[in-house]
Structure 1
Amino acid sequence: MDTTYERDLQHAARLAQDYLAHVPDMPVFPSAEALAGLSDFDEPMPTHGISAENTLDLLHRVGSPATAVTTGSRYFGFVVGGALPATVAANWIATAWDQSPSSEMNSPTGVKLESVAGSWLVDLFGLPEATGVGMTTGATMANFTGLAAARTALLSRAGWNVEEQGLYGAPEIKVVVSEEVHVTVEKALSMLGFGKHRVVRVPTDANGAMIFDELPELDALTLVCTQAGNVNTGAIDPIGEIAREAEKVGAWVHVDGAFGIWAKLLESHQHYFTGIELAHSFATDAHKWLNTPYDCGIVLCRDASVLHQAMATTAPYFRADGQNAPKDMVPEFSRRARGVEVWAALRTLGRSGVAEMIERCCAHARRFAEGLRTIGFEVLNDVMLNQVVATIGSAEELAAIRAHVEASGECWFGPTVWKGRHAIRISVSSWRTTEADVDRSLKAIEAAKRAVLG
């Protein structure tokens, strides 16, 4: 090994291992002192370079204490998984390779591992074997990519080539979304020229799932955006019913399954996903419930050729690498080999290990809900996945309880508004979380409640 690499990598490994060793004892949200320490980064750019050892030491000394410990066992904000050890290690190796898997010309290994991981995902989710797969930064870009494929398919059937002709004068596509549509889907729709406010919004039930009977009339120029896993409640739209209705007229059904689609692996949840394979495009994250490092999103499209048509690029310096070269399935050319850690996660866990991890998170969420009710909170959702929405007192009192828990460093969860009511949202997404972590967090919440409400 190059001695410079050896020295610097070994030093970085020691610092990273020191950080991970202290994760269980760190405050889940950084202290005011740690946050203030970030000012140490505010220095003029040096005229002459400073050693890598000094730079890495500064990074660890100042940066590590000021992290939100999202890789720990008591971080319940947003839907953030803690990276599995094997995926962190695979990420390090892939970074050392420094591969950009745009095509086999650039990275034979990266493309191969991404292809294998993609085929495993298709099998895992029970989708048709020919489904196309692409790796993106996250569900935002996975949604964008899947919806771009929808735009291409729908307009192509109407005799319009959107890649060549653009949207000026194009037939109008009717976009149908849930009234609980995630903001990243709205963002994707706006980037694709559909607009956030030119959509038909379908009412939802008490738990946030789209009401099938409220679906508008569909036709061959309709795009329906469904959701597997409401970001607040975990609710799953009646995707199979919607897809069967869409099939009658040639409408396109997209599934935003950023985290919830992983619950398809659970026997107890199969009925929620009956017919989902009839949908046309899917978006999910590996860095959520598969617990890979950030950033790692996945787009799947039942018709790989449509995804290819929407994303393909040609240049004289690229040879033809077949229909599914990674650069032709997602927006990016230059990107890291994120498929390596997806492969590592799936291989080290196996089908049963992934399912067990998902089920543990759901069980912990149910334990949270039961514990919150016991200490006086009202749980506002049907806890069907890993999401718990609860409230107590006034909005101001609830905010004070959150602040008290945050200051304790015991756990972290975020605020939300559900059906017009201020609430807290707890998302259990990490492989690390245990029943003891749930009980410890509940004690911190109870203490905060007593401090605020008496």
Structure 2
Amino acid sequence: MDDRERALDAAHDLATRFLHTLDDRPVWPRADIDEMLTAFGGPLLENGADPASVVEQMATLADPGLVAIPGGRFFGFVIGGTHPAALAADWLVSAWDQNSGSSLLTPATVAMERVAGQWMLDLLDLPRSSSVGFVTGGQLANFTCLAAARNAVYARSGWDLAARGLRDAPPLRLVVGADRHGSVDRAARFLGIGRDEMLVVDADDQGRMRPDALQRALAGGEGPLIVCLQAGEVHTGAFDEFDVLIPLAQEHGAWVHVDGAFGLWAAASPALRPLTMGMADADSWATDAHKTLNVPYDCGMAIVRDPADSIAMFRTGGDYLIYSSLDPWDAAPELSRRARGVPAWAALRALGRSGVATLIDRLHANARLFADGLESIEEVEVLNDVDYTQVMFRFGSDEQTRQLGEAILAEGTAAMTGAEWRGQAALRCSMSSWATTEDDIARSVEAVRTLVDGLR
């Protein structure tokens, strides 16, 4: 075998061995960043090393610093495990090495991405002619959609942003909810919009934008307008009332964007679809397939109702580039990139329509089961309505809640991350992985119960 085959064989063996450790491995890493820097550091070798040996050494050194995210008891942040079909497809994406910006250059991978986008629009009941740009994640999906939005609302106001830039442009109104995700602010910052320029609308006790507050925020204003709504508040899982808020925003000429990094997928479940009522009437939507669809990282989707708005923002120049209707580089910022949408095609093909719905429903059922288990522990309080996949809770005081969070990560059965909600410390859990079982929930609840008893 040549170097490539031996290195790939080593990687396959090591990956399989790692996956077999997940049931017993502590979920949180056992080494910190300084230990990992020491393990991987030192001077660069003068003459290099055998590729297979490098892969084997890398896996051995990395082991104590790896998080058991692919297992069933990682509930931190909003991070899904990787579906088997998506994982294998991602390996092939790296082996194929296709630069997937142009449909003429790499037709196979671009076709899979395009079909995956069409399947997703169908599953989520979004306008079927929308453009779907595959980007790195939810952050870049929000940025991509808001960039297209800004360009479009300026064009509607008679301002050619591509030609004239922002200097002397009329002020842009960006309206956001009080409990928006930080990626919206970060995307706005990338676009030159500061926090002080945003109009912040009050939210209810679950983080949903209040329609009366939006009405007041929009009254009397004029000029280019973007309103950002949310499908799935990151702590509570709550959904904005799209059927009320979107018509209200559109009465004022707004472009409406929906940040649905993990919540957009509720529309694929007949049982949970009412949460998204009216969502399809927006102008753009952002989501991240590594969350709820359970594909590897590097697979966000930026969806824009009118592909012409994507092309107006992102189509590039260059006489050596070849264009063919709507190419991937027409719907997102990048030119050269890997075929990041292929794992989404594989996951959707493997799951089918009913499989996606079953996955979403199981995530919600796991969240309800976990909340019920937590509520059975004395002095533990669940803080949110568990309408989707998020569970937020606290134990006693702020200090006790933070101590419990630290103890959970140190004990290692499960991973949950800290938060603050309405001025109080909290712990939050996101049910995002296809691999989570009822046994994982039971083990995690009992671990929390034991730790609470110790702290009490």
Same fold (TM over 0.5): yes
Match of 2:198 in 1: 199
State the distance in 2 between where 1:320 and 1:250 align.
Answer: 33
1:400 to 400, 403, 425: 403
Q: Give the CA deviation at 1:62.
A: 1.2
Alpha-carbon distance, 1:362 to partner:
0.7
Q: 1:13-32 residue pairs with structure 2 within 5 A?
A: 13-32=12-31
- Equivalent pairs, count: 451
Q: For the Cα contact (< 8 Å) 2:265–2:292, is it kept in 1?
A: yes
What displacement does 1:110 show?
1.5
1:268-304 per-residue CA deviation (whole Å, 9 max, x = no partner) reads 3232222211100000000000000011100101011
The alpha carbon displacement at 1:320 in A equals 2.2
1:220, 1:249 within 8 Å by CA — same for their partners in 2?
Answer: no
Helix, strand or coil at the partner of 1:267: coil
Residue 152 of structure 1 aligns with which residue?
151
Q: Shift in Å at residue 35 of structure 1?
A: 7.5
- 1:424 is aligned to 427
Structure 1 counterpart of 2:91: 92
Q: Is the 8 A contact 1:113 1:343 kept in 2?
A: yes
CA distance in 2 between partners of 1:36 and 1:445 (Å): 28
Q: In structure 2, what is the Cα distance between the partners aligned to 1:275 and 1:37?
A: 48
Query: Is this contact kept in 1: 2:402–2:425, CA < 8 A?
Result: no
Secondary structure of residue in 1 paired with 2:133: strand
SS at match of 2:272: helix
| 3-12 or 92-101, larger mean C-alpha shift | 3-12
Partner of 1:331: 333
* 1:151-170 correspondence runs (5 A): 151-170=150-169
1:391 is aligned to 2:394: yes
What pairs with 1:169-184 in structure 2 (closer than 5 Å)?
169-184=168-183
Flag structure 2 segments of 5+ consecutive residues without an equivalent: none
Shifted more, 36-45 versus 279-288: the winner is 36-45
Displacement of 1:125 after TM fit? 1.1
For the residues of structure 2 that align with 1:321 and 1:289, how far apart are their CA atoms?
32
Offset at residue 327 of structure 1 (A): 1.0
Paired residue type of 1:346: L
TM-score with structure 2 setting the length: 0.96
User: Partners in 1 of 2:402 and 2:31 — Cα distance?
Assistant: 18
Structure 1: unaligned runs, 5 residues or longer = none
Cα distance in structure 1, aligned partners of 2:455 and 2:415: 17
8 Å CA contact 1:74, 1:410 repeated in 2: yes
Q: CA RMSD in A?
A: 1.5
User: What does residue 344 of structure 2 align with?
Assistant: 342
Question: Contact (CA 8 Å) 1:38, 1:62: kept in 2 or not?
Answer: no
Equivalent residue letter for 2:26: P
TM-score by length of 1: 0.96
What is the CA–CA distance in structure 2 between the aligned matches of 1:411 and 1:55, rounded to whole Å? 31
Q: Is the 8 A contact 1:178 1:202 kept in 2?
A: yes
Secondary structure in 2 aligned to 1:159?
A: coil
- 1:224 is aligned with what amino acid? V
Matched with 2:267 is 264
Distance across 1 between alignment mates of 2:412 and 2:278: 43
Q: CA deviation at 1:446?
A: 0.8
1:256–1:353 CA distance, 2 compared to 1 (3 A): same
Q: How does 1:218-237 map to 2 (within 5 A)?
A: 221-237=224-240
- Deviations 1:3-50, CA, capped at 9 Å, x for gaps: 332221111111111111111111101224998365221121000111
Structure 2 contact 271–361 (Cα < 8 Å) conserved: no
Deviation at 1:214, TM superposition (A): 1.1
Any conservation in 2 of the 1:23–1:72 contact (CA below 8 Å)? yes
Distance 2:237 2:32 in 1: 36
Identity %: 41
Task: Give distance in 2, aligned partners of 1:443 and 1:111.
Answer: 47
User: Do structure 1's residue 285 and structure 2's residue 303 form an aligned pair?
Assistant: no
Report what 2:364 is aligned to. 362
One-letter amino acid of the counterpart of residue 66, structure 2? T
SS of residue matched to 2:235? coil
Q: How far did 1:361 drift?
A: 0.9
> How far did residue 111 of structure 1 move?
1.0
Hey, what's the Cα distance between the residues in 2 that align with 1:19 and 1:38?
21
Q: Is the 8 A contact 1:38 1:66 kept in 2?
A: no
- Does residue 277 of structure 2 align to residue 274 of structure 1? yes
Q: Distance in 1 between matches of 2:93 and 2:350?
A: 16
Alignment of 1:443 onto 2:442: no
The 5-angstrom pairing of residues 111-130 of structure 1 reads 111-130=110-129
Alpha-carbon shift at residue 245 of structure 1 (Å): 1.9
Q: Which residue of 2 aligns with 1:109?
A: 108
SS state at 2:285 partner: strand
- Cα deviation, residue 416, structure 1: 0.2
Contact in 2 for aligned 1:34/1:65 (Cα 8 Å)? no
Write the deviation string for residues 195-243 of structure 1: whole angstroms up to 9, x where unpaired.
1221111111111111111112265622100000000000101122222
Distance 2:410 2:4 in 1: 40
Deviation at 1:332, TM superposition (A): 0.9
Residue 415 of structure 2, aligned match among 412, 416, 419 = 412
Deviations 1:322-356 (CA, angstroms, capped at 9, x unpaired): 2x111111011121101100100110001111111
Question: What SS is found at the alignment partner of 1:282?
Answer: strand
1:244 aligns with 2:243: no
Retained in 2: the 8 A contact 1:174–1:199? yes
Q: Which moved more, 1:393-402 or 1:342-351?
A: 393-402
Q: C-alpha separation between the residues in 1 aligned to 2:369 and 2:347?
A: 26
Q: Residue in 1 aligned with 2:313? A: 310
